Amino acid sequence: MKVSQAVKYCVEYHRMNSKKNSIRPYEFILSRFDSQFGDRELGSTTSDEILSFLNQVTEGTKQSTKRSRYSSLATFFNFIKNTGDPKLQNPCSTPMLRKVFKPAKIVHWTILEKEVVDEIIFRTLKPRNRLMLELMARGGMRVSEVLKLTPRDVEGRKLTLRDPKSGKETEVVFIPQKVADRLKEYIEQKDIGPDERIFPLTYQGARAVVVKAGNLVGIHLRPHDLRRHAATHASRCGTPIEIVSKIILRHANLSTTQRYLRKVSDVEALRWIENSYV
């Protein structure tokens, strides 16, 4: 089978059976692989050629990106082997390639304490800025999701996210009643139309709002710090990790959620065990 035929077969399969966001990595790497090796027999590509190719398409990228593109190409070969050519040898499956494109080390971020986040929010006096901070810190929203919100998306404590990062048509965010009340009041006071953005800022403008809020308490604050806080605070309050993952953070995998949660000390672990059996 020619590389071009295999690529077309794989991409068409994923377009019919996978989510839009899931096939983008395949389309990126396979379109370039096809351009370079399209006329070759798939089984003729060597590990050295794969290494050279991957070095070209990952030059200057982070280790996580290098790993992702390597995994996409390796998955492509396995897909063809499992569905059409069982004798095909995967040239990506060598110790050398696995070592070069090994997963990046997991980073555990510093998690903000509730008292710090509360002070940041309470010291932010401008209603627009405070609402944005609360939606991230209390609702676990990404800054891009906050910026897309319109009054039509707001139904009490339930917020509908359109065209979310997951590739789904919509997702839902739930927020505390007090935040919902302030959001409703803000929309009415500003007379914002149903399809107008509630927070018509650029990403850079929203990031500046967050940085300025952090400066009020002497810390360097980033938008995602607030989203991580929402997850960790919910977890500390006893919310099941499945709820934190699927409802608050809206992650596809629990492993992604676990990166957001801070490491639990032995003392805290023992305290929770004792409390569980009182």
- Write down the pTM of the prediction: 0.60
* Domains of the chain, earliest start first: 3-100 (1.10.150), 114-276 (1.10.443.10)
Provide the token pair at 196: 């107008």
Cβ atoms of residues 171 and 164 within 8 Å: yes
Q: Give residue 39's pLDDT band: very low, low, confident or very high (50, 70, 90).
A: very high
How does the average pLDDT of the chain come out, rounded? 87
* Interval 110-127: pLDDT, tens: 778 899 999 999 999 999
Please report which confidence band the pLDDT of residue 85 belongs to, taking 50, 70 and 90 as the band edges.
confident
pLDDT (tens digit, 9 = 90+) per residue, 218-272? 999 999 899 888 888 887 787 787 777 777 878 767 666 666 565 555 655 565 5
